[in-house]
């Protein structure tokens, strides 16, 4: 399949990052947000990120300008109709994603692959809202998308080999390293990561160690670039809770049962870096 134009649903942290990487690699991008405010913030994020790449010598000013010109912002989902491939990058809410896939199914051509950037939710459930479930799969990018080399591809039991191979080729054309998971809650990365983060929260909640010592122990003892509580703040404490709840609801595995402290922090608006407060204090 000859992919020239890629649609992105969502221009938040993930959608803007995916749009940037696609545009820098020669693809035309149509990125949709629900309103002008969110859309303008996303485009400004792309402009700032690409300018930083120029300042660091990783991108020329001309290449930056060409990439920006390849991106078409819109607030109308219907304007993704000409796309050859679509990646949904909305918030982690299964009902919302299912609605988006149902609408995309009616908007896009029958041959167009529909991918989700979900980090944990059921690909099969999203695919069930379409008339082409064999053309649906997960394309889970990692934040920040222009920097992180990993792409986690997720195949449901209905995803065709052609859909997988086409999507893999797209990911590799972006310079990403591919891992492949079946459609199981949390896939590979979050299925391993979330219990680790929840245990770190329990350790702190139960008074076993301080926040700083838990993170320092993991950084220096396990050679991780971030400690688990630092990473919670970076990813979003509300996102960690949402993933944990979704996986627990489907599997009933006690490793994914959220500690009370996590739920209370989310209720209090302590969502990590994006809110300015989490396990650490942050400037917004």
Instruction: Verify that 88 and 29 share a domain, yes or no.
Output: yes
Is 280 a member of any domain? no
Is 272 a member of any domain? no
Instruction: Verify that 126 and 200 share a domain, yes or no.
Output: no
- pLDDT tier, 1 (very low <50, low <70, confident <90, very high otherwise): low
Asked whether residue 62 carries a pLDDT value surpassing 70, the answer given is yes
Is 58 a member of any domain? yes
Instruction: Verify that 39 and 129 share a domain, yes or no.
Output: yes
Instruction: Verify that 262 and 134 share a domain, yes or no.
Output: no
Instruction: Verify that 132 and 230 share a domain, yes or no.
Output: no
Instruction: Verify that 161 and 214 share a domain, yes or no.
Output: no
Instruction: Verify that 172 and 251 share a domain, yes or no.
Output: no
* Per-residue pLDDT at 155: 98
The residues near 201 (Cβ < 8 Å, ≥ 6 apart) are 229, 232, 259, 261, 262
Instruction: Verify that 226 and 94 share a domain, yes or no.
Output: no
Is 40 a member of any domain? yes
* Per-residue pLDDT at 137: 98
- Is residue 177 within a helix (H) or strand (E), and if so which, with residue range? strand 177-182
Give the closest residue to 116 by CA, choosing from 241, 25, 3, 125. 125
12, two tokens: 């938040």
Instruction: Verify that 102 and 203 share a domain, yes or no.
Output: no
* Per-residue pLDDT at 255: 97
Give catalytic residue positions: 119, 140, 152, 190
Instruction: Verify that 29 and 98 share a domain, yes or no.
Output: yes
Question: How does pLDDT run across 131-170, given as a tens digit for each residue?
Answer: 999 999 999 999 999 999 999 999 999 999 999 999 999 9
Domain that holds residue 69: 5-182
- Mean pLDDT (the chain, rounded): 96
Question: How does pLDDT run across 72-131, given as a tens digit for each residue?
Answer: 999 999 999 999 999 999 998 999 999 999 999 999 999 999 999 999 999 999 999 999
Query: Where is the domain boundary, 161, 182, 203?
Result: 182
Return the CATH number at 216. Answer: 1.10.1040.10
Please report, rounded to a whole number, the percentage of residues in the chain having pLDDT higher than 70.
99
Instruction: Verify that 239 and 124 share a domain, yes or no.
Output: no
Asked whether residue 39 carries a pLDDT value surpassing 70, the answer given is yes
Count: domains in the chain: 2
Q: Tell me the three state secondary structure of residue 278.
A: coil
Q: List, in sequence order, every residue forming a beta bridge with 140; answer none if it has no partner.
A: 152
Asked whether residue 176 carries a pLDDT value surpassing 90, the answer given is yes
Instruction: Verify that 69 and 133 share a domain, yes or no.
Output: yes
Asked whether residue 284 carries a pLDDT value surpassing 70, the answer given is no
Helix axes 260-267, 189-205, angle to 10 degrees: 90
Please report, rounded to a whole number, the percentage of residues in the chain having pLDDT higher than 90.
97
- Tell me if 136 sits within 8 A of 156, measured CB to CB: yes
* Per-residue pLDDT at 283: 83
Return the CATH number at 97. Answer: 3.40.50.720
């Amino acid at each position: 399949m000859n992919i020239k134009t890629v649609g992105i649903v969502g221009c938040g942290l993930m959608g803007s990052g995916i749009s940037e990487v696609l545009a820098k690699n020669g693809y035309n991008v149509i990125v949709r947000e629900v309103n002008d405010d969110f859309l303008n913030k996303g485009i400004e994020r792309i402009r700032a990120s690409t300018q930083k790449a120029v300042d660091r010598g990783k991108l020329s000013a001309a290449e930056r300008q060409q990439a920006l010109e390849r991106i078409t912002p819109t607030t109308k989902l219907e304007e993704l109709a000409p796309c050859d491939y679509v990646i949904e990058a909305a918030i982690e809410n299964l009902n919302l994603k299912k609605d988006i896939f149902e609408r995309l199914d009616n908007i896009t051509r029958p041959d167009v692959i529909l991918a989700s950037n979900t980090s944990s939710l059921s690909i099969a459930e999203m695919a069930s809202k379409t008339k082409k479930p064999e053309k649906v799969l997960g394309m889970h990018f990692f934040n920040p998308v222009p920097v992180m080399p990993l792409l986690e591809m997720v195949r449901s039991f209905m995803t065709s080999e052609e859909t997988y191979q086409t999507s893999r080729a797209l990911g590799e054309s972006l310079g990403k390293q591919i891992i492949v998971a079946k459609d199981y809650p949390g896939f590979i990365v979050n299925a391993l990561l979330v219990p680790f983060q929840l245990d770190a929260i329990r350790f702190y909640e139960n008074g076993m160690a301080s926040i700083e010592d838990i993170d320092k122990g993991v950084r220096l003892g396990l050679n991780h670039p971030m400690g688990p509580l630092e990473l919670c703040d970076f990813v979003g404490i509300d996102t960690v809770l949402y993933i944990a709840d979704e996986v627990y609801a489907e599997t009933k595995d006690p490793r994914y049962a959220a500690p009370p402290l996590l739920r209370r922090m989310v209720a209090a608006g302590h969502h990590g870096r994006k809110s300015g407060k989490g396990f650490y204090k942050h400037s917004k």
